[in-house]
Structure 1
């Protein structure tokens, strides 16, 4: 009985401590956009995913707003007391749930996309915000959005918990989107910064003029590939041991956790290392070096016999990235001259075992280690296990 009372006391304290205090508030769209523009509300806190709605989905939301169809409540956290004096560029609130909706509204009002795919108001298809008749712009600007403001006393972890609970029934978070939420920190910020590197985007076949249109960017796959680079270079790939309970995703999680503890000087060194490697690869191997090829026999004639040739399968393959990016980086770290090794790397695709290592279940431990080791051997690295 004493134990029960003790447990009830603990439960009571926890319930009191973790109870979320909220306040309902409504903003008309015009006011809401002004708050976003003035940095009063932060639209993309660290735990949020990148904007993933296409124009058609965004247009449906705008149509719903014009027709006064109810939309879900936006959740915002109060980060700074509304009555306190702060600098002009300091956020008072951050969006916990509703980022996709608010971004769609803001982008339309900024004339960044035309309406498309509308059925009820099909006459508006092709129209930008500036093209709408005055009565519709007034209706849109005066439409109110219901917001639920969460008390400022909550710590960051509680906000993350709320974010995960609110998003549990929506579009599934990709692996790196979840890491972005859970492992926020300086290394996480560095990964997002490096994923925008011009040379890196060129190698990933991401158009530097329109990166937001690329699915790798929308789903933060570019950030995850940046993380893979740090997780596997400097012989770290040898640490990966797949088990029943822990796979490669867990290995990347561990890397996030470990590298978030690095100091500023160490992170700056990682930044320079990554940027120099990507620049070297583009200059010496071209922008399509992470392509995947398969072999096909070329029937010449009865005197010369058949000869195999390489056929392009894709201009970017993540397993090929593992092999070539890590191999090239580690060779450069050892001071090996690898400027004329492009042909040798492409010839690896004639090796059936190497081709298999970049195909199928490419996260298999043996496949991962084989493709990196095979690449390092071709490049002339020391300490190769093969």
Structure 2
């Protein structure tokens, strides 16, 4: 550990640090605005030419707050407690093509941070949220917005929230960097959700598309919570990352650093051609068809309570091993012994616990599946 007693900062290092700050400093052009809650909600729900002025970009997360957390946010407003600012960005003409937007999107506000709060406000005012689990205003338990006295409704809608607006002069990189930094300390935003905010591209679009494949969802037996938190996209990303780095022996895979490995692969693969995207989609579907045909329970296992969703480690082991076997023999017809691998002691040993912590273990479990299917 570095302490003040073990390191000295020279004047030269100070000058170098200052030079680096100046070089990498991003000029963020922004406005600070105070808007009443009623105006914010109207901008979020009222459409003009089929679009709202305040919108949630596709890289943002789904609605994640439960009703107790939503209620506590409303309680904070009613108590007059400070509310964090909402960050938005003005759509500029330069960003239209990059974000697949149209001319009609100019001037709209893209929500960078604050989607959960804005959705909660809209739900409450629109009679969709019944207050519950309140800590201070316990007399409001079970209230809808319309149950508040009329004067209190008016005061609530007049309460203002600060909005930080990044102007049209703020570039896309700065916006995405702000999104990453705002959420980097959040326990609610998982790695896959962060990737959606800062690494858009053709490959990430493919992940979103494949994650809606009903066959894939059924074979993995994902829960609603897993789908909500983008686990399907994470599984598919792992499939392609481990499949397409197999030949190089996972050179870039660092022990206990799976997140960096996946991030780097995603960023690189976002640059590939549309033809390559189609090839990847085809190979993914071939793997799914094989699983559907030869594994009655898909990727999951049955237990006393029903289906047991497959873990990430077991999914990537099976899916990548199958895909590699199919690359050698597209018409592969495995033996009954090979198909029992899912329940074998070896497979369970290779995929239990922290089995993804080293590239040696990754290769061992994937090779086991591949070899079993090919009868090697």
Alignment TM class, shorter chain as reference: 0.7 to 0.9
Q: Which residue of 1 aligns with 2:366?
A: 372
Change (3 A) 1:239 1:172: farther
Give the RMSD, CA atoms, in angstroms: 3.7
Report how far residue 260 of structure 1 moved: 0.6
1:221 aligns with 2:237: no
Report how far residue 74 of structure 1 moved: 0.8
Give a deviation string over 1:205-232, Cα, whole Å, max 9, x none. 334xxx3xx0x34443332111011112
1:191 aligns with 2:207: yes
Please give the secondary structure, in 2, of the residue aligned with 1:18: coil
Q: Which residue of 2 aligns with 1:321?
A: 315
Report how far residue 147 of structure 1 moved: 0.5
Q: Which residue of 2 aligns with 1:233?
A: 243
Change (3 A) 1:191 1:8: closer
Report how far residue 72 of structure 1 moved: 0.8
1:74 aligns with 2:86: yes
Q: Which residue of 2 aligns with 1:296?
A: none
Please give the secondary structure, in 2, of the residue aligned with 1:145: strand
> What is the rounded CA distance, in whole Å, between the counterparts of 2:319 and 2:234 in structure 1?
14
Q: Which residue of 1 aligns with 2:330?
A: 335
Q: Number of matched residues?
A: 349
1:141 aligns with 2:157: yes
Unpaired runs of at least 5, structure 1: 294-309
Report how far residue 349 of structure 1 moved: 3.3
Q: Which residue of 1 aligns with 2:136?
A: 120
Is this contact kept in 2: 1:28–1:145, CA < 8 A? yes
1:58 aligns with 2:70: yes
Report the TM-score when normalising by structure 1. 0.75
Q: Which residue of 2 aligns with 1:254?
A: 264
1:165 aligns with 2:181: yes
Please give the secondary structure, in 1, of the residue aligned with 2:87: strand
Alignment match of 1:359 (pick from 346, 352, 364): 352
Alignment match of 2:274 (pick from 264, 277, 282): 264
Change (3 A) 1:360 1:29: same
Is this contact kept in 2: 1:76–1:96, CA < 8 A? yes
Change (3 A) 1:265 1:128: farther
Report how far residue 203 of structure 1 moved: 3.1
Please give the secondary structure, in 2, of the residue aligned with 1:154: coil
> What is the rounded CA distance, in whole Å, between the counterparts of 1:180 and 1:219 in structure 2?
12
Give a deviation string over 1:183-208, Cα, whole Å, max 9, x none. 2212112212322322222233334x
1:43 aligns with 2:51: no
> What is the rounded CA distance, in whole Å, between the counterparts of 2:334 and 2:143 in structure 1?
52
Change (3 A) 1:379 1:234: farther
Is this contact kept in 1: 2:341–2:372, CA < 8 A? no
Q: Which residue of 2 aligns with 1:306?
A: none
Report how far residue 71 of structure 1 moved: 0.7
Report the TM-score when normalising by structure 2. 0.77
Change (3 A) 1:244 1:43: closer
1:180 aligns with 2:196: yes
1:98 aligns with 2:106: no
Give a deviation string over 1:115-142, Cα, whole Å, max 9, x none. 3211333344344556656555444333
Is this contact kept in 1: 2:34–2:160, CA < 8 A? yes
Give a deviation string over 1:78-106, Cα, whole Å, max 9, x none. 2238xxxx844556221222222223223
> What is the rounded CA distance, in whole Å, between the counterparts of 2:216 and 2:70 in structure 1?
29
Q: Which runs of 4+ in 1 moved over 6 A?
A: 6-13, 310-313
